[in-house]
Amino acid sequence: MAAPGEGCSEPAGREPRLRDTPEDICFEATANAIALHPARPLLAAGDVDGDVYLYSYSCIEGENRQLWSSGHHLKSCRDVAFSQDGQKLFTVSKDKSIHILTVEEGRLETRFPKAHSSALNCVLPIDNHVFATGDDGGALKVWDLRKGDAILEARQQEEYISAMAVDGNGKILLTASGDGTLGVFNVKRRRFDLLSEPQNGDLTSVVLLKRGKKVACGSSEGTIYLFNWDGFGAASDRFALRAESVDCMVPITDSIVCVGSLDGVIRSGAWDGEAVGRAQPWSGTRGGRARRACAGAHRRACGGLGPCLPARSSLGPVPVPRAVNVLPNRVLGCVGQHLGEPIEQLAVAPGGQLLASCAHDQKVKFWDVSALGGLVVDDYRKKKKKGGPLRALSGKAAGSGEDFFADLRDEAEPEAAAGSDSDGSG
């Protein structure tokens, strides 16, 4: 097993200092997946060699520590997730297996060796006993650890399940798929409910917003689609980002999400409910499904190694995380970047103060997103030069350095504004 370094720290010889964010954590292989513990400063990561690592992280320089590692997977580890009580770590792999490890020791507690007929792609804990998995063939399974087996099996989508989300009651499970559809499943009744109409490109991510009244899905075409909770059949709105793709997305607040893209940028932004045109597709030489598989879900098609990706110089802008506000719809700016490397996954620490990202540069980076939690985005938007640089949301972010807060109100959002964000719009 290739052991990663403790971090990408500066040379020793001076007193440790307090940083705004933890130092980067470096790996010897590309990290496909990361997760942050729900209560403690712990980060789990799975890499393309099938190894899983647990780190403690700290804003004190030199204090990141590897706690344990596990090499039980035979092929690339595709996803990792902590249980809701934080005592277990779920991992899924291209070798079709599910592993459940103890967080304290990294001991393999439960193993499902051939859990699916295709390579596994994602895992989502629903409660402390029930979890869901999705594979490359579009199959979904919901498992109950008390029974030791699957309690729901379905294959309603034609291509890989890229991401999943569940409502606060653990009843309705949503699945985003490479065939462009959003699947809706009732976990409590153990049944399939419906599929949305196909969208342009692969759906690569899915999150709940606006107190559960809105669902946002990212796509390989660089567009975010919005669905009303009671209207999953068709998207109620779409928002085209200035990005090659939306490969991963996490909510920071009830209205603000951060998205990671093939261009290596992490963006933050918002939606205002007005329909916009679809984003222009990647202009590479490959077409159709092959192009989308490389651009929108490269780790699924290539096992995380990325041999099917074009040369870095052809990918356009430098990859960075972006912040996006929903209703009103705004790209708020750039949170951070992995220079020239596609972003694989994002994770948010408890409290929404810290964002972690992993990319093909074999690093996990941390970003301070604490300022986003108190922001209120005005409906008014100033005209700005089309194609201009994204606003930098932190000192580590790529951008012009101009004041990000210029277009935002400092005061708290009035209660009356809660009804003006088109939550119930079709």
Point out which residues pair with 161 in neighbouring strands: 177
pLDDT mean over 210-237? 94
Long-range contacts of range 384-389, CB-CB < 8 Å, 24 or more positions apart?
Answer: 387/242
- pLDDT at 99 (0 to 100): 98
- Please report which helix (H) or strand (E) contains residue 291, including its range: helix 288-296
- Please report which helix (H) or strand (E) contains residue 367, including its range: strand 363-368
Q: For residue 363, give both structure tokens.
A: 């690093």
At 254, phi and psi to the nearest 5? -70, -10
- pLDDT at 119 (0 to 100): 98
Q: CA 121, CA 96: separation in Å to the nearest integer? A: 9
Neighbour tally for 231: CB within 10 Å: 14
DSSP characters over 305-351: S-TTSPPGGGG-SPP--EEEETTTTEEEEE-EE-TT--EEEEEE-TT
Q: For residue 193, give both structure tokens.
A: 């409910």
Q: For residue 350, give both structure tokens.
A: 């408890």
- pLDDT at 424 (0 to 100): 44
Residue 370 DSSP one-character state: G
- pLDDT at 322 (0 to 100): 66
User: What's the mean pLDDT when you consider all of the chain?
Assistant: 81
Weakest-pLDDT range from 27-31, 173-177, 313-317, 383-387 = 313-317
pLDDT tens sequence across 26-44: 999 999 999 999 999 999 9
User: Is 60 exceeded by the pLDDT of residue 299?
Assistant: no
User: Is 60 exceeded by the pLDDT of residue 220?
Assistant: yes
Residue 264 DSSP one-character state: S
Pick the more confident residue, 423 or 114: 114
